[in-house]
Amino acid sequence: MPVGVAINQEELKDVRAKFDELLKLMEFRLQDEDKANIEKAYEMAIEAHKFQRRKSGEPYIFHPIEVARICFQEIGLGPTAVICALLHDVVEDTPVSLNEILELFGPKVSIIVDGLTKLDGTYNIDTNDSPQAENFKKVLSTLVVDVRVVLIKMADRLHNLRTISAQPKHKQLKIAAETDFIYTPLAHRLGLYNIKTEFQDICLKITEPEVFQELSNKLSESDQARNEYIEQFISPLKAELTQLGAPFRVLGRCKAISSIYTKIKQSKVNFEEIYDIFAVRIIIDVPVEKEKSFCWQIYSIITDVYKPIPERLKDWITTPKGNGYESLHTTVIGPKGKYVEVQIRTERMDEIAEKGFAAHWKYKGIKKQENVYDNWLDNIREILDTKHTNALDFINDFKTNLFSEEVYVFTPKGDMRIIPKGATALDFAFEIHTDVGYHATAIKVNNKLVPMGYKLNNGDQVQVVTNKNQKPTEDWLKMVVTGKAKSKIRSAMKEERRKVGEYGKEALERKFKNLKLDFEDNVDIVTKQLGFKSRIDLFYGLSMDEVKMSDIKNYTIENGKIVFKKEEEDQLNKEAPIAEELRKIQRPAKANRSNILVNGEPADIYKYSLASCCNPVQGDDIFAYLTATAGLKIHRTNCSNAVQLLANYGYRVLKADWEDSVNSSFVVELLVTGIDSGPGVIQSLSNELSNKLGINIKSFSIEGKEGYFEGRIGIIVLNKDQLNMVVQSLEKMEGISSVVRTDRTFK
Ligand code: MN
């Protein structure tokens, strides 16, 4: 913050006038004590900022006063927020300390001001995470402390955007990008529709100035014609609406320029072809208990005159949006055959729609969905608590879970659940309860079995069938989108890995016992030496033969601790032996060439085989791994062992490709689940496979579980395309809920 010329008497008068305007606005809500505190905050802010000026040259204090006004008038916040808004830049930019604020205004104000100060802090450039993601996390952590922090921050951002023309262009672009990334979606999620729209419009004006200008010209050119049309639309309705006996207003609301632009881009139409450039909004003032019936009466008045388009009816009154939005929307065919969207709502609903969160709290307690924000904040906490390996995962989880539109689905008992758009049947199972997710064997939507990865739609009724023997597998991760389901599946997989690792752990314990080594003292040394990230990974690796006991070599024992010879081992194990070992597994090439190339050469000049952990087929992405004793193994790059191998034994990995011209066949296993329709299942599956698709079945096992079955079918395919075709055909069969290629052939 540059230090400038101190504020002068003339300017002080303007500032005071501005502040008095704010007080006047708030008058009706202020107790004497609030008034005194706001006055104190004003005094403190004016003193603290007296040498500061904004880019435009005006005294800085105008900014906090304006932010306070936005908080009160445009967001609907109360006196505490106004005090915090006045002080929001004080700790950051001036000698005033947080302690002084605590002493003068108490803990509530100081916590919020502290949150606002932290939000403004500079990025931590030492982290590997993207600064944007870091900042985003920061915003969210303050949000769960006191949601007012974020609301005041919105007001701050809004004022900065409204006055952005004073900034140089490159700064404008940076601010626009950040607004787009963080603040616009948050404003949407908090139900601050007006602010969200203004954010988008200002950002568009910065990033695409010509487009913005053109569209805004077109809008004002068509202004008069539009107003006339709206008048024409309403006039036949007026008498009936008046007869309802409640005060009402009718507005013609124009779409924001940014959303017109989005529409033009998305549906590739031009300005003139957009039929819903404006919407007619009818707002009626009735007591809460009469809201619903009045709104539907208005709906009926309109549709008596104009023909409605049934599929465009949206009842956000019976089922409000997750951010609290309530309204009844319909589209009708108006005069001259034009489509007109009509929004029907009450004054209360309108205030919530315009101001969002804060207005919502004002009416708290009168609607059943009063806890939407509580739920939302709980969700944020949950995501913040989940350990994310990187910032991008975090952002992805966040965006799918909290910013996307919702879908409303129902349990068999008719309870409504709100899930993110795009969420699957399996996500729903985890939404109901973690255990239901873990043990889900089949899912029915509207009484029909669906694949676990089925994307749910509005109004779906979902029933999950569970079996206690069921457990999550790696494949499940591909069938869910919500952060909750993903993290639950991941932790179950980890648990599974731990169980498999028990065998490896015991073997290592025996080895240590023979060497008279203490287990706890040495296990981490060995883990590190063999290149594993954790003990669990080491035990798992030992169980799965990724590494062998004999790989623990070239060590001495000193004072009860195992010590590896470092340098020599590297020399010995890395470059030289690879060529040496490759030579050892060489064999005379056969006449018919191999269908795999290793380092560009036919693989059959070596001893090689397809890895049984992932059963690659022609068309999969693959690599070759030089094992200690079994020659080359060809793995899929998405094999669950691949990460481990690539990370720890990168030097033993060779490039492998498929040779298209050579035909071959591959065994894969499919896990098929569905309704148990008795012995007929085996019949119809084998009929589909052998007779219809001409596929050879190699193995077939099937197990019935409480009305459902799980079948494992080994089949022989030529390549990945054929495999995909088989999976798709089976999925379409009556009674089949999911078909998944397994990683491991059933033993
Ligand atoms: Mn500010």
The answer on 106 and 28 residing in a single domain is yes
The answer on 181 and 58 residing in a single domain is yes
Domain boundary among 575, 600, 618: 575
Distance (angstroms) between ligand 1 centre and the Cα of 211 equals: 29
The answer on 121 and 65 residing in a single domain is yes
Q: Which residue has the higher pLDDT, 629 or 625?
A: 625
pLDDT the model gives residue 329? 93
Residue 225 belongs to some domain of the structure? yes
CATH code, 672:
3.30.70.260
Quick one: DSSP state of residue 50? Answer: T
Q: Does the structure show a pLDDT above 90 at 158? A: yes
Helices (H) and strands (E) in the chain, counts: 30, 23
Q: Copy the structure tokens of residue 342.
A: 């009509």
- Give every CB contact of residue 133 below 8 A, 6+ residues apart in sequence: 391, 392, 394, 395
- Distance in angstroms (rounded) separating the CA atoms of residues 62 and 64: 6
Distance (angstroms) between ligand 1 centre and the Cα of 71 equals: 12
Residue 391 belongs to some domain of the structure? no
Distance (angstroms) between ligand 1 centre and the Cα of 394 equals: 27
Chain length of the chain: 747
Per DSSP bridges, beta strands 736-741 and 666-675 are antiparallel
pLDDT the model gives residue 734? 80
Q: Which residue has the higher pLDDT, 36 or 565?
A: 36
The answer on 700 and 635 residing in a single domain is no
SS (H, E, C) 69-89: HHHHHHCCCCHHHHHHHHCCC
Span 287-294, average pLDDT: 91
Sign of CA dihedral 586, 590, 593, 594: negative
Domain count, the chain: 6
pLDDT the model gives residue 550? 84
Q: What burial class does residue 684 get, using C-beta atoms within 10 Å of its C-beta: 0-12 exposed, 13-18 middle, 19+ buried?
A: middle
Sheet holding 448-450: strands in order across? 448-450, 440-445, 462-466
- Distance in angstroms (rounded) separating the CA atoms of residues 283 and 295: 9
Q: With residue 259 as reference, give the H or E element that holds it.
A: helix 257-267
CATH code, 325:
3.30.460.10
Q: Does the structure show a pLDDT above 60 at 575? A: no
CATH code, 459:
3.10.20.30
- Distance in angstroms (rounded) separating the CA atoms of residues 581 and 631: 9
The answer on 733 and 700 residing in a single domain is yes
Q: Copy the structure tokens of residue 90.
A: 């004080």
Residue 395 belongs to some domain of the structure? no
Q: Copy the structure tokens of residue 533.
A: 């990230």
The answer on 511 and 449 residing in a single domain is no
Are the C-beta atoms of residues 88 and 64 closer than 8 Å to each other? yes
Q: With residue 673 as reference, give the H or E element that holds it.
A: strand 666-675
Residue ranges of the alpha helices (H) in 399-482? 425-432, 434-438
- List the catalytic residues: 92-93
pLDDT the model gives residue 603? 84
The answer on 308 and 342 residing in a single domain is yes
pLDDT the model gives residue 388? 54
pLDDT the model gives residue 379? 65
Q: What is the pLDDT of residues 193-219, one digit of tens each?
A: 889 999 999 999 998 899 999 999 988
Residue 365 belongs to some domain of the structure? no
Q: How distant is the alpha carbon of residue 442 from its chain centre? A: 25
Q: What burial class does residue 426 get, using C-beta atoms within 10 Å of its C-beta: 0-12 exposed, 13-18 middle, 19+ buried?
A: buried
Q: Copy the structure tokens of residue 223.
A: 């202004």
pLDDT the model gives residue 390? 55
Q: Does the structure show a pLDDT above 90 at 286? A: yes
Q: What is the pLDDT of residues 113-154, one digit of tens each?
A: 988 887 664 433 334 445 556 666 666 777 667 778 888 999
**Mean pLDDT for all residues in the chain:** 82
Residue 588 belongs to some domain of the structure? yes
CATH code, 65:
1.10.3210.10
pLDDT the model gives residue 591? 57
Are the C-beta atoms of residues 402 and 383 closer than 8 Å to each other? yes
Residue of 497, 588, 488 lying closest to 542 (CA atoms): 497
Distance (angstroms) between ligand 1 centre and the Cα of 156 equals: 5
Q: What is the pLDDT of residues 524-551, one digit of tens each?
A: 889 888 888 788 889 988 888 878 888 8
Q: With residue 170 as reference, give the H or E element that holds it.
A: helix 169-178
The answer on 670 and 648 residing in a single domain is no
Span 677-695, average pLDDT: 83
The answer on 505 and 547 residing in a single domain is yes
Q: What share of the chain is helix, strand, coil (3-state, %, to 5)?
A: 55, 20, 30
- Distance in angstroms (rounded) separating the CA atoms of residues 533 and 527: 7
Domain boundary among 658, 684, 706: 658
- Give every CB contact of residue 2 below 8 A, 6+ residues apart in sequence: 52, 53
CA angle centred on 34, ends 29 and 36, rounded to 5°: 130
Helices 425-432 and 483-514: crossing angle in degrees, nearest 10, is 80
Q: What is the pLDDT of residues 51-88, one digit of tens each?
A: 888 888 899 999 999 999 999 998 888 899 999 999 99
- Distance in angstroms (rounded) separating the CA atoms of residues 94 and 48: 6
pLDDT the model gives residue 367? 46
Distance (angstroms) between ligand 1 centre and the Cα of 60 equals: 9
Residue 46 belongs to some domain of the structure? yes
Are the C-beta atoms of residues 654 and 626 closer than 8 Å to each other? yes
Residue 716 belongs to some domain of the structure? yes
Sign of CA dihedral 295, 300, 306, 309: positive
pLDDT the model gives residue 366? 43
Q: Copy the structure tokens of residue 556.
A: 């001495």
pLDDT the model gives residue 602? 83
Q: Does the structure show a pLDDT above 80 at 369? A: no
> Could you tell me the pLDDT band of residue 376, with boundaries at 50, 70 and 90?
low
The whole model's pTM is what?
A: 0.57
What is the distance between the terminal CA atoms of the chain, rounded to a whole angstrom?
Answer: 69
The answer on 614 and 706 residing in a single domain is no
Per DSSP bridges, beta strands 596-598 and 561-564 are unpaired
- Distance in angstroms (rounded) separating the CA atoms of residues 250 and 278: 13
Distance (angstroms) between ligand 1 centre and the Cα of 385 equals: 29
Are the C-beta atoms of residues 672 and 739 closer than 8 Å to each other? yes
Q: How distant is the alpha carbon of residue 589 from its chain centre? A: 52
Q: What is the pLDDT of residues 413-466, one digit of tens each?
A: 877 787 888 899 999 999 888 899 999 988 998 888 888 889 998 778 899 998
pLDDT the model gives residue 126? 38
Taking residue 162's Cβ as centre, other Cβ atoms within 10 Å add up to 12
Q: Copy the structure tokens of residue 147.
A: 């949601």
The answer on 520 and 419 residing in a single domain is no
- Distance in angstroms (rounded) separating the CA atoms of residues 15 and 282: 39
The answer on 229 and 180 residing in a single domain is no
Distance (angstroms) between ligand 1 centre and the Cα of 215 equals: 31
Span 467-484, average pLDDT: 86
- Distance in angstroms (rounded) separating the CA atoms of residues 563 and 560: 9
- Distance in angstroms (rounded) separating the CA atoms of residues 504 and 221: 77
- Distance in angstroms (rounded) separating the CA atoms of residues 90 and 93: 6
- Distance in angstroms (rounded) separating the CA atoms of residues 714 and 654: 28
pLDDT the model gives residue 129? 47
- Distance in angstroms (rounded) separating the CA atoms of residues 588 and 604: 8
Say what percent of the chain tops pLDDT 70.
84
Distance (angstroms) between ligand 1 centre and the Cα of 132 equals: 19
Q: With residue 707 as reference, give the H or E element that holds it.
A: none
Residue 475 belongs to some domain of the structure? no
- Distance in angstroms (rounded) separating the CA atoms of residues 697 and 692: 13
Domain boundary among 658, 684, 710: 658
Residue 318, domain extent = 210-355
Distance (angstroms) between ligand 1 centre and the Cα of 454 equals: 46
